[in-house]
Structure 1
Amino acid sequence: MTILLIEDEEATARRLRRMVQDVEPTAVVVGTTVSVEESVEWLQTHPKPDLVLMDIELADGQSFEIFNRVAVTSPVIFTTAYDEYAIKAFRVNSIDYLLKPVKEDDLRNALGKLQRMREALLEQPDGLKASLASLLQKMAASAEGNSASPTANAGQVYRDRFLVKQGQRLFSVSLDEVAYFFSRNKLSFLKTRDEHEWMVDYTMDELSAMLNPKRFFRLNRQIIAELRAIDKVNLYFNGKLKVGLRPVFDEEVIVSREKAGEFKSWLGE
């Protein structure tokens, strides 16, 4: 078994490598990366490993961003000190989710789970091939930035207001006041229709899961816009779309060719 280890704490990485050798002596750690950027580059330039051990909090951001940048078709076991990320981890098809400090028994159980899954797939006609194809499709969908589906999930409860801070004062902003959410320098903000900007304590991925997809659409990794904030849409090169927002956003807002069809369908609902 070949393993890519994504971990930005050197001491933790050393401990995990030793633990892997104790639990699975035939396993080989073929690479160790410490950041989103380095991990994306490694995955683009090396044969895919049999398993990825992936820390969630890295030096340059959360490792979920890796799935937005490159197709990850290897099974993933996430490690983190924070259990709040469990649901998001399983949205990107992880095999297991281990809390730090990782215990040897937990790692052994996770590797055993992976092995059982492989054996079950191989017992079916073309099982492994079909599974990898399905996993690739799911990862590609995840790579769209976990954008909101144009159809709301039955029973899903969505946010209708956000708490923001102004100096020492906290107050609530209703979604009826929000034109769009945007990210800048790894921070997230909301912009109201009357052009006030407030920082919000959520990532763009987390916001996507909180917002009603009938009202909000993730145009790209940087912008989630409310329907009424779409001022104009123009054709752009290579099948992309250029979107004008109201209030005006200070950078070009481009919808990728892959998302253009979904966006047009959302506009026409």
Structure 2
Amino acid sequence: MNVLLIEDEELAAFRLTQLLAEVAPHVNVIHTTASIDESVTYLKSGPVLDLIFMDIELADGQSFEIFEQTTVPAPVIFTTSYDEYAIRAFKVNSIDYLLKPIKQQELIASLDKFHQLNRPANSSPVPLVAIDALVQQLRQQGQPTDYRRRFLVRHLSQWLPIEVGEIAFFHSEERVTLLHTVQEQKFTLDYTLDELETMLDPTAFFRANRQFIVHINSVQQIHPYFNHKLKLLLRPTPTDEVLVSRERANEFKKWMGK
């Protein structure tokens, strides 16, 4: 069974590949793409695919744009941290919607659903039924019963507890997630930003983009930027620019103004 992964976060793609290998050894991940343009180019080459796992938020936009630019030749299981995309996801040829971090049992259930629906006579999208119930279920899945109050990090030969109030921001660099403190220390974490987002209090932390989650107290200045984006100046200052996308700019301003 040939599968394509569309995922712009390397660690998330790696973990999904490993999870698929554990629960479905018959699955062959033949390729991974990380952007809309790369995905469109690959799909136009006519690959033989049985299933696609597609992250919704990519570095160059939302993956729904792929459907507007080329034919998607296989059913899709969407993966994302944001439940607000559920209804739109089911308007294209989606068979399921997995909320990150993906759990093993939920992945198994999605693959079972794929096999049940993948009959030769049935090539149409899944009907739009019970969408309200689906969205409610996703929201419940996305709300932890208790937010993290501290993280245990490795430092030299010991482990250190870091309270969330000491954290300035989280930064993802390739396959490495870094925790930066207000004291300008940094530590590696074994979580992706998608996973961290479900653990953190949304009144204190905001997912600025695919590379940064920022604490509200670390935001020192906000500047208008090209194409209606926002540029954030943080303290301490990260090595990379911190930009809030045009799509999330209004949400960020509301979050800062609460």
**What range describes the TM-score normalised by the shorter chain of this pair?**
0.5 to 0.7
Quick check: 1:68 aligned with 2:58?
Answer: yes
Q: Which runs of 5+ in 1 are unaligned?
A: 18-31, 55-62, 79-88, 100-105, 122-126, 139-148
Identity between Structure 1 and Structure 2 (%)? 31
1:97 alignment counterpart: 107
Cα deviations by residue, 1:192-243 (Å, 9 ceiling, x for unpaired): 1111111111011111111110000011111100000001001111111110
> Which residue number corresponds to residue 256 of structure 2?
267
What is the aligned partner in structure 1 of residue 152 from structure 2? 163
- State the partner residue of 1:209: 198
Structure 2: gaps (5+ residues): 6-16, 68-73, 79-96
1:42 to 39, 54, 57: 39
> Hey, what's the Cα distance between the residues in 2 that align with 1:232 and 1:108?
48
Q: Pick closer, same or farther for the CA change 1:113–1:250 going to 2, 3 Å.
A: same
Check if 1:174 corresponds to 2:163. Answer: yes
Using the size of structure 2 for normalisation, the TM-score is 0.61
Provide closer, same or farther for how the CA distance between residues 156 and 40 of structure 1 changes in structure 2, counting only shifts above 3 A: farther
- Conserved? CA contact 2:34–2:58, under 8 Å: no
Conserved? CA contact 1:164–1:171, under 8 Å? yes
5 Å-filtered alignment, 1:24-35, equals: 33-35=30-32
Aligned to 1:6: 4
**2:115 aligned residue:** 111
The separation in 2 between residues aligned to 1:266 and 1:38, in whole angstroms, is: 28
Larger CA Rg, structure 1 vs 2: 1
| Change over 3 Å in CA distance of 1:120–1:33 after alignment to 2 | closer
When normalised by structure 1's length, the TM-score is: 0.59
The offset of 1:46, in angstroms, is 3.3
How far residue 167 of structure 1 moved from its aligned partner, in angstroms, is 1.4
> For residues 84-110 of structure 1, what are the alpha-carbon distances to aligned partners after superposition, in whole Å with 9 as ceiling and x for unaligned?
xxxxx7227x9x7239xxxxxx96763
Q: Distance in 1 between matches of 2:200 and 2:218?
A: 15
Q: Please, what is the CA RMSD of the aligned residues?
A: 4.4
Give the structure 2 partner of residue 60 of structure 1. none
Q: Deviations over 1:135-167 (max 9, x none)?
A: xxx9xxxxxxxxxx9xxx777311010010111
Shift of 1:64: 6.5
Q: Shift of the alpha carbon at 1:249? A: 1.1
Q: How many Å separate the matches in 2 of 1:229 and 1:207?
A: 17
User: Alignment partner of 1:205: what SS?
Assistant: helix
Q: What is the CA-CA distance between 1:186 and the residue it aligns to? A: 1.7
Summarize the Cα distance change of 1:220–1:33 in structure 2 as closer, same or farther, 3 Å threshold.
Answer: same
